[in-house]
């Protein structure tokens, strides 16, 4: 029997046993996780700190895990993050109610149970296809046309997952917010909340960097929940759930098939051998989807296996680029992967090769397993970094700049709407690549085109970059990954190669690529959405946003206290504005330091540190600045971030990146000051925090406006939101309570 099925059955048996024990304890009048426990009367710094730490750590863990197991979550922007926010926000609203630990922990295990059911893969794949089907956006593995019936069925299934994810964070929100209410000084409690959140982010970045598996993160979450329980027997009960959790998250491992959680994605790697024992291929799957295949294309291997490849050996997508380049070329490979392109470069006697790859696990697989061992060659230099960051910093010139098949299958950042390769395929990126070409050099771009409009967009960007149309053709293959090829040179190298190689010219003529005649907008650093057909919000995104808002509304109207009054306009707008400001900071930093997890972590940590500093200043010097000055500094900082032309500053990219950090830290600092000034005056800090979190949900949904107006214009939306916060101040009320007299300073 399959080991995963055995593990699943054992987990069910353990959970059933625990369920019987819980039922028996209730009948005896000694229930576990008793929801009627009295509201605590003392403030506990350790409990506030742990709950804050656990909230951010859990957010990142569930965001990453659910995007792997249910692939469509990886594409719908920060959907999982927003659901976590909704749950935490309603937990804040329910601060004075009993903590719903039983429901939260049940939802935790229920979500893992549903997703990890051995027979659920087909259902979850259908869910991804139904939710993601759309002709106006490209989501890997989904249908190309919209189907309302399929979407409705998928939406019903997805809603159950949404609810489970949402419920997990309600008790965490309750613990954090009730500790806020009990604190003798709200600003001091807020400082501990920020510090715990900051360390939660750093801890998850650490486990991701160490490439620790999902069972490790989830065990930390369950351990944290156990420590937050009120009694020893409750802590023991929660800890006993570790065993079924580990069984459910178990992935079978063997020498030739195993799973790696890289800093970016989950990788499943499989080795395949020929009958004579030769290493045939190494299959790399990302998030349960085919991604790369490591092949031996050396002449000696193909001679031993003559029936393996149907096309001519020099007509596969890896060897074709070198038929256009001059002899002994100096080569830059953007998206080197496991080493197929580097191996081809060595087969064609390249003098030097710079291989750029972002994922350390994929690069390590290539170094260890590629049968041609290209990364062992002294002529190959590997660079573990983001492709765009390398292009900005490199000083060499190349005979061939080769864009490998680095199209992204999943979204990278769960704090912004970017995939790994968003900034690689922009007009500015191609111009930077062209600047690294020698006068007779070649730019060769390979892409697995699933929609003709993608090919048209890439061709148009190359035409705008070089002032002439690129050569575009298909390179089919029965063995390697097929590709659509785009070839161009600042000189006449492409034409000369075709003239001097009749077979190459015949191959190109026999494999024309399919382009779309309809104009599509080119992608830029301001609108880097390669997989969006037009500058509009796809209907799939609108529909998913509607589901999230419906869930939030349904939860809101079920809370009697919440129905009595609307959330504070000030704290709500501050939350929405901050999330958009955070998105802008991450996106800008990605341009100069790369779209990497480390950059995201540094950006988020920097923002939280700035907020912590602002909070400490207000705590120690409450009258540090009048509100009018703080608000003016916030608006001035936003306008400076909007008007400052970072791309035109003649400096080293790293220095410009530091300038970006400073410029965006200014409005964050003033926003933190303003928030802290008002937060210390509220009667119920939990309600203010809840309104702030719910505002962040709306801010996350507003991020989709960048698909229409571009990323830079989001700063204007952020400015409007902070102006709404100013309106909330001018009304002189926060949560229905009169502000302190100094509010009139504004």
Give the pLDDT mean for 668-693. 82
Token pair in block for residue 688: 């203010």
R_g of the chain, CA atoms, integer Å = 27
Q: Are 261 and 212 in contact (CB under 8 A)?
A: yes
Q: Judging by beta carbons within 10 Å of its beta carbon (0-12, 13-18, 19+), is residue 621 exposed, middle or buried?
A: exposed
The pLDDT tens digits for 421-462 are 678 899 999 999 999 999 999 999 999 887 888 899 999 999
CATH of 3-251+530-745, one of 2.60.40, 3.40.50, 1.20.1250, 1.20.58: 1.20.1250
Phi, psi of 138 (to 5 degrees): -110, 115
**266-409+427-510 shares the fold of 3-251+530-745:** no
pLDDT of residue 414: 41
Share of the chain above pLDDT 70, in %: 82
**3-state percent breakdown (helix, strand, coil) of the chain, nearest 5:** 60, 10, 30
pLDDT of residue 704: 84
Q: Report how far apart, in Å, the C-alpha atoms of 467 and of each of 15, 488, 493, 508 are.
A: 65, 10, 15, 22
pLDDT of residue 734: 42
Q: How do strand 330-334 and strand 289-295 relate by DSSP bridges?
A: unpaired
The confidence band for 275, taking pLDDT boundaries of 50, 70 and 90, is confident
The confidence band for 742, taking pLDDT boundaries of 50, 70 and 90, is very low
Give the pLDDT mean for 465-492. 90
Q: Are 89 and 697 in contact (CB under 8 A)?
A: yes
* Domain range summary for the chain, segments of one domain joined by +: 3-251+530-745, 266-409+427-510
pLDDT over 60 at 419, yes or no: no
- Which has more pLDDT, 396 or 142? 396
Q: Judging by beta carbons within 10 Å of its beta carbon (0-12, 13-18, 19+), is residue 535 exposed, middle or buried?
A: middle
The pLDDT tens digits for 59-98 are 889 888 888 887 767 666 567 777 888 888 888 877 778 8
The confidence band for 746, taking pLDDT boundaries of 50, 70 and 90, is very low
The residue to which tokens 């690129």 are assigned: 470
Least confident of 69-83, 129-143, 151-165, 223-237: 129-143
Least confident of 54-63, 308-317, 463-472: 308-317
Superfamily (CATH) of domain 266-409+427-510: Vaccinia Virus protein VP39 (3.40.50.150)
Token pair in block for residue 671: 């926003």
pLDDT over 90 at 156, yes or no: no
pLDDT of residue 740: 38
The residue to which tokens 């949900």 are assigned: 697
pLDDT over 60 at 561, yes or no: no
Q: Which of 537, 543, 450, 533 is nearest to 148 (CA)?
A: 543
Q: Which of 529, 523, 553 is nearest to 541 (CA)?
A: 529
User: What 3 state SS string does 614-628 have?
Assistant: HHHHHHHCCCCCCHH
Q: Please count the other Cβ atoms lying within 10 Å of the Cβ belonging to residue 597.
A: 20
- Which has more pLDDT, 246 or 682? 246
The residues that bridge with 260 in the sheet, in sequence order, are: 267
Positive or negative, the CA dihedral 613, 614, 615, 619 is: positive
The pLDDT tens digits for 317-361 are 999 999 999 899 999 999 999 999 999 999 999 999 999 998 889
The pLDDT tens digits for 705-720 are 888 998 889 899 999 9
pTM of structure:
0.84
The confidence band for 568, taking pLDDT boundaries of 50, 70 and 90, is confident
The pLDDT tens digits for 183-242 are 888 888 888 988 998 899 889 988 988 899 999 999 999 999 999 988 888 888 889 889
The confidence band for 412, taking pLDDT boundaries of 50, 70 and 90, is very low
- Which has more pLDDT, 159 or 399? 399
Give the pLDDT mean for 552-575. 73
User: Euclidean distance between the first and final Cα of the chain, in Å?
Assistant: 70
Helix (H) or strand (E) holding 181: helix 170-182
The mean pLDDT of the chain is 82
CA 353, 525, 455 angle in degrees (round to 5)? 70
Helix (H) or strand (E) holding 638: helix 627-643
The pLDDT tens digits for 31-59 are 556 555 545 667 888 999 999 999 999 98
Q: How do strand 733-734 and strand 737-738 relate by DSSP bridges?
A: antiparallel
Q: How far apart are CA 211 and CA 208, in angstroms?
A: 5
Q: Are 734 and 571 in contact (CB under 8 A)?
A: yes
pLDDT of residue 21: 61
Q: How far apart are CA 629 and CA 626, in angstroms?
A: 5
Q: Are 480 and 317 in contact (CB under 8 A)?
A: yes
Q: How do strand 266-273 and strand 330-334 relate by DSSP bridges?
A: unpaired
Q: Report how far apart, in Å, the C-alpha atoms of 124 and of each of 118, 155, 527 are.
A: 11, 12, 31
* 8-state DSSP, 61: H
pLDDT of residue 385: 85
- Which has more pLDDT, 9 or 575? 575
The residues that bridge with 383 in the sheet, in sequence order, are: 356
The residues that bridge with 63 in the sheet, in sequence order, are: none
Helix (H) or strand (E) holding 441: strand 437-447
* Helix intervals (H) in 413-481: 427-434, 452-466
């Amino acid at each position: 029997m399959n080991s995963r099925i055995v593990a699943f059955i054992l987990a069910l048996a353990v959970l059933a046993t625990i369920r019987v024990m819980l039922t028996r304890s209730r009948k005896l009048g000694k229930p576990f996780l008793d929801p009627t426990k009295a509201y605590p009367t003392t403030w506990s710094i350790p409990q506030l700190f742990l709950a804050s730490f656990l909230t951010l750590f859990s957010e990142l863990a569930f965001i990453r895990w659910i995007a792997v197991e249910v692939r469509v979550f990886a594409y719908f922007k920060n959907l999982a993050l927003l659901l976590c926010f909704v749950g935490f926000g309603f937990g804040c609203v329910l601060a004075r109610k009993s903590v719903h630990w039983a429901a939260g922990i049940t939802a935790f295990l229920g979500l893992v149970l549903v997703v990890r059911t051995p027979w659920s893969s087909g259902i979850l794949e259908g869910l991804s296809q139904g939710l993601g089907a759309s002709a106006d956006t490209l989501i890997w593995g989904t249908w190309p046309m919209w189907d309302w019936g399929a979407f409705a069925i998928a939406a019903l299934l997805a809603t159950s997952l949404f609810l489970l994810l949402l419920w997990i964070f309600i008790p965490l929100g309750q613990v954090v917010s009730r500790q806020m209410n009990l604190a003798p000084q709200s600003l001091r409690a807020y400082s501990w909340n920020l510090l715990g959140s900051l360390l939660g982010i750093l801890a998850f970045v650490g486990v991701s960097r160490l490439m620790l598996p999902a069972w490790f993160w989830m065990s930390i979450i369950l351990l944290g929940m156990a420590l937050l329980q009120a009694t020893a027997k409750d802590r023991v009960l929660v800890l006993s759930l570790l065993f079924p959790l580990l069984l459910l998250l178990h992935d079978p491992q063997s020498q030739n098939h195993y799973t790696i959680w890289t800093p970016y994605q989950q990788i499943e790697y499989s080795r395949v051998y020929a009958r004579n024992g030769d290493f045939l291929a190494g299959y790399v799957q990302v998030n349960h989807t085919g991604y790369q295949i490591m092949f031996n294309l050396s002449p000696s291997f193909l001679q031993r296996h003559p029936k393996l490849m149907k096309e001519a050996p020099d007509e596969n997508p890896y060897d074709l680029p070198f038929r256009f380049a001059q002899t002994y070329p100096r080569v830059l490979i953007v998206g080197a992967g496991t080493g197929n392109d580097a191996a081809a470069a060595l087969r064609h006697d390249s003098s030097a090769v710079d291989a750029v790859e972002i994922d350390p696990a994929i690069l390590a697989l290539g170094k260890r397993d590629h049968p041609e061992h290209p990364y062992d060659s002294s002529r190959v230099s590997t660079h573990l970094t983001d492709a765009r960051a390398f292009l900005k910093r490199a000083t060499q010139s190349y005979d061939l700049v080769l864009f490998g098949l680095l199209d992204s299958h999943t979204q990278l950042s769960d704090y912004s709407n970017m995939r790994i390769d968003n900034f690689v395929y922009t007009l500015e990126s191609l111009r930077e690549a062209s600047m690294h070409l020698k006068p007779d050099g070649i730019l060769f771009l390979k892409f697995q085109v699933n929609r003709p409009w993608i090919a048209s967009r890439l061709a148009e960007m190359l035409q705008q970059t070089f002032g002439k149309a690129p050569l575009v053709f298909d390179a089919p293959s029965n063995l390697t990954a097929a590709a659509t090829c785009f070839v161009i040179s600042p000189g006449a190298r492409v034409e000369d190669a075709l003239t001097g190689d009749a077979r190459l010219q015949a191959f190109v003529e026999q494999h024309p690529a399919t382009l779309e005649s309809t104009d599509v907008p080119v992608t830029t650093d301001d609108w880097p959405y390669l997989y969006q057909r037009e500058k509009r919000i796809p209907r799939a995104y609108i529909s998913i946003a509607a589901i999230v808002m419906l869930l939030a509304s349904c939860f809101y109207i079920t809370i009697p206290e919440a129905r009595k009054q609307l959330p504070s306009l000030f704290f709500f707008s501050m939350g929405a504005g901050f999330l958009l400001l955070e998105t802008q900071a991450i996106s800008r930093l990605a341009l100069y330091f790369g779209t990497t997890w480390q950059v995201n972590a540094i950006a988020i940590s920097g923002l939280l540190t700035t907020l912590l500093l602002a909070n400490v200043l207000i705590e120690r010097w409450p009258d540090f600045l009048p509100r009018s000055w703080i608000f003016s500094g916030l608006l001035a900082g936003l306008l400076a971030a909007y008007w400052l032309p970072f791309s035109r500053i003649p400096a080293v990219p790293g220095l410009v990146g530091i300038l970006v950090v400073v410029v965006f830290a200014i409005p964050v600092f003033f926003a933190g000051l303003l928030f802290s000034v008002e937060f210390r005056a509220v009667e119920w800090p939990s309600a203010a925090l809840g309104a702030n979190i719910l505002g962040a949900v709306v801010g996350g949904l507003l991020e989709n406006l960048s698909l229409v107006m571009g990323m830079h214009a989001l700063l204007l939306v952020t400015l409007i939101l902070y102006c709404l916060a100013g309106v909330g101040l001018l009304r002189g009320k926060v949560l229905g309570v009169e502000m302190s007299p100094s509010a009139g300073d504004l």
